[in-house]
Amino acid sequence: MTATLSKYAKVFAVGAQNTFVYRWNFVLRSVVGIVPLVGTIFLWRAIFDSGGGRLSGYTFSQLIMYFAMTVFVENLVTPTEDEWQIAGEIRDGKMSFLLLKPLNYIAYRFTLYASYRLLYTVVLLPGVVLIFFFLRDHISLPVHAATWLWFAVSTALAAVIQFFIAYTIAMLAFWILEISTIVFIVFSIEYFLSGHAFPLDMLPPWIAGFVKWSPFPYELYFPVQVFTERISGAALAQGIAIQAFWAFAMWMSGVTLWRIGIRRYQAVGG
Amino acid sequence: MNRYLSIFRLTARNSLIREMNFKLNFLLWMVVELLWFAGQLAFIEVLYGQVNEIAGWSKWQLVALVGVHQIIAQLFQAFFYINIANLPELVRTGRLDLMLTLPMDAQFAVSTRQVSFDCIVNSLVGVAIVAFALAKLHIVPSIAQLALFACAVPLGIAVHYAVMFGLSCISFWIIRAQSFIHGYFNLFHIGRYPEAVFRGVFRFIFTWLVPVILVSNVPAKILAHPFTSPWAGLAMLSAATLAVLAATRALWLLALRRYGSASS
C-alpha cells in the first residue's frame, strides 16, 4: 500500500516538474486567459444597462460572481492537454514503454492530471486573487459552512467527470488516427451546456429540464451553483446524485474502452 | 508578385487534393464549426430573451455581427491559421531551415503552406447568416455598402493574421509556446461583441494596440447600421491594420536573428 502510494507520489512530482519546465507557457496563458472574462463582464454590464436590475433572477453582482467562480472551477478541473497526450502515446507507440512499467495506466494518467491541475491552480492563484480583489464589490462567500463541503464534493466529482470524458475520447485513438475533430465537437457542446457561456437557468425551462440529465452541467455549472448557494436542499441532493452517477458512468466507459482498445494496440513504431 | 501568385496557386491545388483524400475529416470539421455557430446563435437568443437591445444593437444586428465575425475568422483560418499554428513546431524541430533557404520571402513561405477548404465553406455559412439577418432587418445593401464591406473584410483578415503571427513569434524565445493558440482564440473571443460595450483602458488597448474589436464591428456596421457614417471606422481599421502588420513584420525579423536552428 505504502509502496503504491509512494510510486504515484513520484508520478505526481514528475508531472509537477514537467509543468514547471513550461512555466512561461503558463504565464502567457493566464494573462490572455483573463481577456474573455473581462469581455464577458463588459457585455453583461451593457445588457444590464438596457435591461434593468435583474435578469433571470440574477443581479449584476451575482452574475459577475457566477463568471468569476466559473473561471476558477474551470482552471481547477478542466483538462487541457491530457487527451492529446494520451492519444499521442497510443498513436506513436509510446504506450509500450509505459505498459512495461509496474503502473496502472489509468491511475498513472489520473495522477498526472491531478498534479497538472493542482499546480496550475496554485500558480494561477495570485491572478485569481487579483481578479477577485478587483471584483470585490460583487463577490460574496457562502453563508452556510456546509456549503464549503458540498462545493468540495461537487468539484471533485466534476474533476472525475471531466477527466474521464477526456480519457474516453482519447481511447478512440485505438481505432481512429485523428481524434481532434471529436475533441472539438465535444468541446463545443461542453462550452455551452456546461454553463461556460451563460448560466444555464437562463435557458428556457423545457431545454433546461433536458440538459439537467446530461453530464455537461455537472462539469462546471453545478459546482458553481452550489458555491453561490443557488441550489440547496432536495435539489442539491438530487444534483449530487446525478453527478455521482455520471462520474461513475464516465469512469466505467474509460476503463471499458481501455480494456477493449489495449487488445488492438499494435505499438506502431514502438 | 506573379511568382508568388503562381506558387500560391500550386499550394492551394495541393491542399485541395489532400483534403479530398480525407473526406470524412473534411465533413467532421464542418460539423464542428456548425455546432459552434449554432451555440452562438442560441447564446444570442438567450440574451435577447432578457433585453431588446445591447449597446445600440438589436437582435438581428447582433446576429449580423456574429455572421461577419464568422466570415472573417473562417477566411483567415482557411488561408493562414494552420500554417501559423505550425510555426512553433518548425522552430522547435529546426525544420524552419528549409523555409529559410527557399528562394522567396520566408514569412510568405511559412504563412502560406496550405489552404483549408472546409473553412471557405464555413465562411459561406457566415455569408448566409448575414444575408438572413439583413433580410430580417429589411435592409437591402447598396452597391456602395457592399464595396466598402468588401474593403473592410481583407483588412480584418490582415488583423487576425498579424495578431496570431505576432503571438506565434514568441516561440522563438519560449520553446513549446502552444499557449499562443489559446491567446489567439481568447483575444478574438471579444471581437464578436459590439464595440460600444467596452470602456476605459480595455477599450483603448483592444482598439489601438491589439485592434480585435474593430475587426468585425467596422464591416458589420457598414451593413447593419446603414445610417451611421462608415468612414471614421474604416479609417481607424486601416490605420490599425497597417500598424499591426508593420509591428508583426518587425517582430518576425527580430525573431529570425535569434533563430539558432535546433539539432543541425
Residues of B in contact with A35 (CB under 8 A): 186-187, 189-190
Q: In this complex, do A24 and B174 lie within 8 Å of one another by their Cβ atoms?
A: yes
What is the predicted pLDDT for the residue at B259?
Answer: 83
d(Cα A146, Cα A227) in Å, to the nearest integer?
10
Q: Do B50 and A28 touch (CB under 8 A)?
A: no
pLDDT recorded at residue A241: 96
Mean pLDDT of A146-157: 95
> Does any CB of chain A come closer than 8 Å to the CB of residue B50?
yes
pLDDT surpassing 70 at residue A268:
no
Nearest by CB to residue B32, choosing from A178, A185, A197, is A185
* Beta-carbon separation of A28 and B36 below 8 A: no
Across the interface, which of A38, A47, A184 has its CB nearest the CB of B50? A47
What is the predicted pLDDT for the residue at B127? 94
What is the interface size between A and B, counted as CB pairs within 8 Å?
101
Question: Between the CA of residue A80 and those of A85, A120, A157, A163, what are the distances in Å?
Answer: 10, 11, 17, 10
Helix, strand or coil, per DSSP, at residue A81: coil
- Is A243 a residue whose pLDDT tops 80? yes
The confidence score (pLDDT) of residue A270 equals 52
pLDDT on residue A73: 92
CA distances in angstroms from B82 to A14, B75, B112, B119, B164, listed in the order given: 32, 12, 9, 11, 11
DSSP label at residue B191: G
Average pLDDT for A215-223: 96
How many Å apart are CA B207 and CA B212, to the nearest integer? 7
* Chain B environment of A45 (Cβ under 8 Å): 197
* pLDDT, mean over chain A: 87
Q: Is B209 on the interface with A (CB under 8 A)?
A: no
CB contact under 8 A, A25 and B202: no
Closest Cβ–Cβ partner in B36, B53, B187 for A32:
B187
ipTM of the complex: 0.86
User: Which pLDDT band, with edges at 50, 70 and 90, does A147 fall under?
Assistant: very high
Which pTM was predicted? 0.87
What is the rounded average pLDDT of the residues A9-34? 77
Q: Which of A39, A50, A181 has its CB closest to that of B193?
A: A39
State yes or no: pLDDT of A103 exceeds 90: no
Q: Give which of A29, A31, A71, A189 to mutate to test B binding, by max B Cβ within 10 Å.
A: A29
Nearest C-alpha of chain A: how many angstroms from B49? 9
From A41's Cα to the closest Cα of chain B, the distance in A is 9
Three-state secondary structure along B45-59?
Answer: HHHHHHCCEECCEEH
Rounded Cα–Cα distance for residues B1 and B6 (Å): 9
Q: Nearest CA to A34 among B246, B110, B205? A: B205
Average pLDDT per consecutive 10 residues, chain B (264 residues; last block may be shorter): 80 79 78 86 88 90 94 93 88 84 85 85 91 93 92 94 91 74 85 90 89 92 87 91 94 88 61
Is the pLDDT reported for residue A81 higher than 70?
yes
φ, ψ for residue A229, nearest 5 deg: 60, 35
Cell of A133: 480583489
Q: Whose CA is closest to B93, among B262, B264, B206?
A: B262
- Contact yes or no for B50/A47 (Cβ under 8 A): yes
Confidence at residue A85, expressed as pLDDT on a 0 to 100 scale: 87
Q: Which residues of A touch B198 (CB under 8 A)?
A: 39, 42
Of the candidate ranges A179-183, A223-227, B148-152, B249-253, the one whose mean pLDDT is the lowest: A179-183
Confidence of residue A269 (pLDDT cuts 50, 70, 90): low
B211/A contact by beta carbon, under 8 A: no
Q: Is B31 exposed, middle or buried (0-12, 13-18, 19+ CB in 10 A)?
A: middle
Residue of B nearest to A28 (CA): B179
Q: From B132, B120, B121, B113, select the one nearest B75 (Cα to Cα).
A: B120
- Residue range A30-47, pLDDT digits in tens: 777 788 888 999 999 999
Q: For residues A119 and B216, which has the higher predicted lDDT (pLDDT)?
A: B216
Residues of A in contact with B92 (CB under 8 A): none
Give the DSSP H/E element, type plus range, for residue B239: helix B231-258
